[in-house]
Amino acid sequence: MWRRCYAHHASPPDSAAARQVLDLPSSPALGLTVEFLLDPNTWLAFAVLTALEIVLGIDNIIFLAILVGRLPPEKRDSARRLGLAFAMLTRLGLLLSLSWVMGLTAELFSLVGHGFSGRDLVLLGGGLFLLYKASHEIFMEVEGGEHEDAPKADGSSALWSVIVQIAIIDIVFSLDSVITAVGMVDNVGVMMGAVVAAVAVMMFAAKPIGDFVDLHPSLKVLALAFLVMVGMALTAEAFDQHVPKGYLYAAMCFSLAVEALNIRSRKKRLAARARA
């Protein structure tokens, strides 16, 4: 995950270094002056950071789609909105406490010759949770014969159980997302605007993605396998073993392309049988 590599191997950039990345004019941390807002580089930085936040939120959307699929249809929209709203609030809260966030990269203790920071512990906990949750969901899908007739989880307790699980993994994804934003832009206002815009796009994308995954069980297993890879990568990051996220996305895109061919082939076979 390239952004995690940046956080580990580079100190938080000063204003000049950040402007070298996206060439932003100087501006107070939250003071968006007219000159600042009229500068084309400000909007370029906003667009680039928004696009980056959307791309980095793909694993978050997949995890959300899997968990929400366990709820009755009438509760899914509420779960999506609450889950993504929590993700946005977590990111905004972390952006407003930048000194604390960047302090999480400082070493807390050493174990077996390896130093652990607060960020490492968050990544380790999130990675292990994601590994457990994705593996459990894969087991439920593969051994679904015993559970096919079981009703969907119902009631407010089930809804809040899903929200809590989304909140746990949101903290992990949000921490990494904020560290990436800090490494690119030195203006908190631009960062917060990009986060809000990215979450708004994710809110529109979450439902169609979730419905599509729920409609195709094989895609659901594929998505869960991707989450297992993400969990392994997060766990490895906690021990300074960097896995470029591009590798994970390449594997996912290749698998999706193969599965798309399988879905198309199955539809053609079913259509041929119906005509026979």
pLDDT category at 99 given cuts 50, 70, 90 is: low
pLDDT category at 139 given cuts 50, 70, 90 is: confident
The alpha carbon dihedral of 55, 57, 62, 68 has a sign of negative
Give residue 149's pLDDT: 45
pLDDT category at 150 given cuts 50, 70, 90 is: very low
CA distance 13 to 57: 23
CA 128 to chain CA mean position, Å: 15
pLDDT digits (tens, 9 = 90+) for 157-186: 777 888 888 877 777 777 767 776 666 666
Mean pLDDT, rounded, for 183-208? 80
Pair of tokens at residue 232: 């392994």
DSSP notation for 203-255: HHHHHHHHHHHHH-HHHHHHHHHHHHHHHHHHHHHHTT----HHHHHHHHHHH
The alpha carbon dihedral of 29, 31, 35, 40 has a sign of positive
81 close to 164: Cβ distance less than 8 angstroms: no
Q: Is the pLDDT of residue 228 over 80?
A: yes
Give residue 107's pLDDT: 80
Give residue 11's pLDDT: 42
Q: Mean of the per-residue pLDDT values for the chain?
A: 74
